């Protein structure tokens, strides 16, 4: 079958070659070459009128940098690293993240403007309305730049989830097919956003929205192991004796009544020999710790005495199910705890049921999203169309593991940040998030930052708070083992009985749930976490005073902190930027005794004595990379 389009292009190309012979001046040749390039442009896929944004042109004369706002730092967990809230145009933030996080992000979730024509999409400081004949091209140009950078930030096994409605669904699908490759398309999830539908829609009351899912490569695996059951911890260890897969669950009690004074009988010592892996416990501390053993008590994250989940007789009878080692989160403190080996059911392991692409759950809808937002003390007019915290938590459970790094560069009111923090509390994870949002109408300062601060530090509230502790889709094969499932549910309820005022079972539309309910009269307790707040600033490419190098060096600290998720506090983390600082700091023999990591600019020349001091201190040492601003300095000739 003949390709008529190809034949037509060949005919036109022949004609252009004839024109070249007749018009060989420079101006004519440039025009002819442009015509040929347009002729050879792709003929299948998404085609649009390309636009240049103001933020693009700014990069021609200015270099974006981050400036830390110390007064907006949120800090409540001294044993954890930092999340980041980046204020400014997200294209500039992504431009800088390319330098610090290339192929380092595990998962991205974004909720971009839907381009409805109803005051929701601003392009070049102008609202794009329905009357704009090029509104779709402007939106695609806007998204294309950001998604291309986003793909480069993802790990090879990374994934991106994108919320959208039907105004730009088709354009977004074709754009993502091009950027991520249609072979990496995973799914279009349809979920019920508003049961009653949008009554202002013409002819139809639209009740659903979509979530597009793309992996970067074929390496991503959805974190869903068993039929309908949320499994947020992977069974990634194998028992040497039984050869069965298991996960480790901290034996320390968490939540309410987890203090030593609440249950004194649950505060007792374990004794562990790291060399032989021998572990035993006693109801009372031994007068003398056996040689080669360490004593382990249940200590809370704040350093106070806590309690174990098991009583002494249970721990002694089930000692073969217990192990001990240093907690990864507190590695720098050498802090040990005891873990329970939770073995996976082999029958469940082999019977994997995939996640459905249609979600109709009450906790995911817009009413629940507004309740999430207003319960924090905001007015529902402060931010339009927030997403449900439970919806984002569910996405993060599918997309990530417990130590994942998550990016949201349309962070809006900060729902993704709240979801990650709450999910860490539920499953003991240590996920970190990077949130990017503009400050239009004070959004980042008044809403995003304030919301995160409330979630972390606690906030006033009166009413009921519900937490889904368990959910499982029941199908025909599950009916044969309902006794086992119900036994698991009853055990879960027994374990959480003291953590909630009420625990209720719910079975609707084939979904079995256990929901913990807390009656709160005065305040919601905060969830420890840390956030740094950066603003996007600019350095002139051709300054009248100083050199570009001198000015950019003032923003290296922010880049180091962002890349490593830390705070350069001169206690645990130390930055040395020049030879004078090196001579002053490294002249003291014991200066590195409490330092965990040392960051040294590549331009610093260390003496042999200084090198030996660093080597003998056993401190992690990093060279501050030239690549932060190497390209910009080369462009301006420095």
Tell me what pLDDT residue 54 has.
Answer: 81
∠ Cα 504 510 511 (to 5°): 40
Look at residues 608, 622, 619, 617 and name the one whose alpha carbon lies nearest to residue 576. 622
Predicted structure pTM score? 0.72
Residue 603 above 50 pLDDT? Answer: yes
Please determine, for residue 226, whether its predicted confidence score (pLDDT) is greater than 70.
no
Q: Are strands 502-508 and 405-408 parallel, antiparallel or unpaired?
A: unpaired
C-alpha count within 13 angstroms, C-beta hemisphere, residue 266: 20
Query: What pLDDT score does 270 carry?
Result: 96
Share of the chain above pLDDT 90, in %: 40
pLDDT 10s digits, 145-204: 999 999 999 999 999 999 999 989 999 999 999 999 999 999 999 999 887 666 565 778
Reduce the DSSP state of residue 10 to 3 states and report it: helix
DSSP letters along 456-477, please? HH-EE--EEEEEEEEEEE--HH
* Burial classification of residue 254, based on how many CB atoms lie within 10 Å of its CB (0-12 exposed, 13-18 middle, 19 or more buried): middle
- Residue 54 β-bridge partners: none
pLDDT at 1: 45
Cβ-based neighbours of 46, under 8 Å, separated by 6 or more: 140, 171, 174, 175, 178
* Band of pLDDT at residue 521, cut at 50, 70 and 90: low
């Amino acid at each position: 079958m003949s390709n008529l389009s190809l034949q037509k292009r060949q005919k036109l190309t022949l004609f252009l070659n004839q024109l070249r012979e007749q018009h060989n001046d420079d101006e004519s040749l440039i025009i002819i070459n442009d015509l040929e390039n347009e002729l050879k442009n792709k003929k299948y896929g998404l085609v649009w009128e390309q636009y240049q944004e103001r933020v693009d042109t700014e990069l021609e004369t200015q270099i974006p940098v981050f400036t830390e706002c110390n007064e907006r730092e949120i800090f409540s967990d001294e044993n954890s690293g930092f999340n980041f809230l980046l204020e400014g145009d997200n294209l500039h933030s992504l431009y800088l993240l390319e330098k610090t996080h290339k192929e380092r992000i595990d998962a991205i979730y974004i909720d971009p403007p839907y381009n409805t024509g109803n005051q929701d999409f601003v392009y070049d400081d102008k609202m794009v309305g329905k009357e704009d004949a090029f509104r779709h091209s402007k939106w695609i140009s806007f998204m294309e730049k950001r998604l291309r950078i986003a793909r480069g930030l993802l790990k090879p096994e990374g994934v991106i989830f994108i919320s959208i409605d039907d105004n730009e669904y088709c354009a977004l699908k074709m754009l993502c097919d091009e950027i991520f490759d249609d072979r990496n398309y995973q799914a279009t999830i349809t979920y019920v956003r508003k049961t009653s539908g949008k009554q202002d829609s013409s002819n139809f009351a639209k009740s659903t929205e979509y979530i597009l899912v793309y992996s970067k490569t074929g390496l991503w695996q959805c974190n869903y192991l068993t039929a309908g059951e949320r499994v947020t911890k992977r069974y990634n260890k194998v028992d040497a004796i039984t050869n069965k897969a298991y996960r480790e669950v901290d034996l320390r009690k968490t939540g309410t009544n987890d203090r030593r004074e609440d249950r004194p009988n649950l505060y007792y010592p374990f004794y562990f020999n790291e060399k032989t892996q021998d572990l035993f416990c006693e109801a009372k501390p031994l007068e003398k710790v056996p040689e080669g053993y360490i004593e382990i008590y249940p200590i809370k994250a704040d350093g106070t005495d806590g309690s174990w989940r098991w009583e002494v007789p249970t721990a002694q009878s089930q000692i073969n199910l217990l192990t001990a080692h240093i907690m990864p989160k507190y590695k720098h403190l050498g802090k040990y705890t005891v873990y329970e080996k939770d073995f996976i059911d082999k029958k469940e392991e082999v019977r994997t049921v995939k996640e459905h692409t249609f979600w109709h759950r009450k906790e995911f809808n817009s009413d629940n999203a507004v309740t999430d937002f207003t319960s924090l003390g905001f007015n529902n007019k402060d931010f339009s169309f927030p997403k449900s915290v439970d919806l984002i938590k569910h996405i993060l459970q599918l997309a990530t593991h417990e130590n994942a790094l998550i990016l949201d560069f349309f962070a809006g009111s900060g729902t993704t940040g709240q979801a990650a923090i709450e999910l860490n509390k539920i499953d003991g994870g240590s996920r970190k998030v990077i949130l990017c949002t503009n400050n239009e109408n004070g959004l980042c300062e008044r809403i995003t930052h304030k919301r995160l601060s409330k979630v972390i530090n606690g906030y006033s509230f009166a009413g009921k708070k519900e937490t889904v502790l368990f959910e499982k889709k029941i199908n025909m094969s599950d009916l044969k083992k309902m006794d086992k499932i119900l036994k698991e549910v009853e055990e879960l309820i027994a374990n959480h009985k003291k953590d909630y005022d009420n625990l209720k079972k719910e079975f609707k539309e084939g979904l079995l749930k256990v929901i913990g309910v807390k009656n709160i009269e005065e305040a919601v307790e905060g969830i420890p976490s840390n956030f740094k707040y950066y603003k996007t600033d600019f350095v002139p490419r051709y300054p009248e005073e100083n050199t570009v190098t001198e000015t950019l060096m003032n923003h290296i600290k922010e880049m180091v902190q962002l890349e490593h998720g830390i705070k350069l506090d001169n206690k645990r983390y130390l930055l040395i930027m020049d030879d004078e600082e090196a001579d002053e700091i490294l002249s003291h023999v014991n200066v590195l005794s409490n330092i965990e990591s040392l960051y040294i600019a590549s331009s610093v020349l260390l003496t042999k004595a200084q090198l030996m001091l660093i080597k003998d201190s056993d401190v992690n040492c990093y060279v501050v990379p030239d690549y932060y601003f190497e390209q910009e300095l080369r462009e301006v000739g420095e």
